[in-house]
């Protein structure tokens, strides 16, 4: 199936590893041009080289911290200066610390809002005018299964990522008639550094080994395993495609059936 992504320009954040890299790789394999970012200059340069090997016709790498507005502004300017437009936006960032309500002060909550919610809002605000002018766009917000089925020790992620869903659903209604889709993608346990961090935190809390904690994460899924990054990337590429033109305002779960609800 031709996804119609050849020559499209995609901005993918936090793409030097993990889910951002999986999304960028899948888009590159479909012929999209890419702008990516990472907090580390060395990491983003390494990712640019790997994405070129994966088939991306043009890749721009920018070092940027998504919790800083000035860095987001610089990333957006560099992308628009280089490519002239953004057709596809995949918003993604690292997650906040694991913990319970009593573990965090006001500053920790503010940091989580800056990292997860405001970074998403700022990125969308930067690319949306051009999408509206051209009458075409794909906005995909990476969140977490914690936003729809909270994990006990992830109070910051549970709370703030849910706000991303509320914003995205509202925006999807606002721009649906303009050829722009806005969706959230909701990963369960995918084999990334973030999942390994959470497994380490669980192992420390429960006095078990890292291997036992990783196994327990896989057990949450009816498939009895964690997901692969290419499985996640394929879902992103579909949502970004011409083939997904009548899908908007949804939260697509890529979780191996972990979510326990009906809807």
110-119, pLDDT tens digit by residue? Answer: 999 999 999 9
Neighbours of 85 (CB within 10 A): 15
Strand-strand pairing, 9-12 and 33-38: parallel
Tokens of 199: 């497994």
Stated pTM of the model: 0.93
Q: Give residue 5's pLDDT.
A: 96
Local structure of 11: helix, strand or coil: strand
d(Cα 84, Cα 190) in Å, to the nearest integer? 33
| φ, ψ (nearest 5 deg) of residue 107 | -65, -40
Indicate whether 1 pLDDT > 80.
Answer: no
pLDDT 10s digits, 28-49: 999 999 999 999 999 999 999 9
Helix (H) or strand (E) run with residue 183 in it: strand 180-187
Which domains are present in the chain?
A: 9-188+227-251 (3.40.50.720)
Question: How far apart are alpha carbons 12 and 32 in whole angstroms?
Answer: 11
Lowest-confidence segment of 12-16, 178-182, 258-262 by average pLDDT: 258-262
Q: Which pLDDT does position 151 carry in this prediction?
A: 87
Backbone angles phi, psi at 9, to 5 degrees: -110, 120
| CA-closest candidate to residue 137, choices 177, 86, 184 | 86
Alpha-carbon gap, residue 176 to 249, rounded angstroms: 9
Mean pLDDT within 59-71 = 97
DSSP state, residue 163: H
């Amino acid at each position: 199936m031709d996804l119609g992504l050849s020559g499209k320009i995609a901005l993918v954040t936090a793409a030097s590893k993990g889910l951002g890299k999986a999304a960028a790789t899948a888009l590159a394999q479909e012929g999209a041009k890419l702008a990516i970012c990472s907090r580390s200059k060395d990491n983003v340069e390494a990712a640019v080289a790997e994405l070129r090997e994966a088939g991306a016709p043009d890749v721009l790498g920018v070092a940027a911290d998504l919790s800083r507005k000035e860095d987001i502004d610089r990333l957006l300017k560099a992308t628009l200066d280089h490519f002239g437009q953004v057709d596809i936006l995949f918003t993604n960032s690292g997650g906040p610390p694991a913990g319970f309500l009593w573990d965090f002060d006001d500053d920790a909550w503010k940091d989580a809002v800056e990292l997860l919610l405001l970074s998403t809002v700022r990125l969308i605000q930067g690319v949306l005018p051009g999408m509206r002018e051209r009458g075409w766009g794909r906005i995909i917000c990476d969140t977490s299964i914690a936003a729809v089925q909270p994990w006990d020790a992830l109070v910051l992620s549970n709370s703030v990522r849910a706000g991303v869903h509320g914003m995205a659903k509202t925006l999807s209604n606002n721009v649906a008639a303009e050829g722009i889709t806005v969706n959230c993608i909701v990963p369960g346990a995918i084999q990334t550094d973030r999942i390994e961090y959470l497994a380490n935190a669980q192992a420390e809390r429960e006095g078990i080994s890292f291997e036992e904690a990783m196994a327990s994460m896989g057990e949450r899924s009816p498939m009895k395993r964690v997901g692969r990054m290419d499985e996640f990337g394929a879902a992103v590429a579909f949502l970004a495609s011409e083939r997904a033109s009548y899908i908007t305002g949804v939260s697509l779960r890529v979780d191996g059936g972990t979510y326990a609800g009906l809807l």
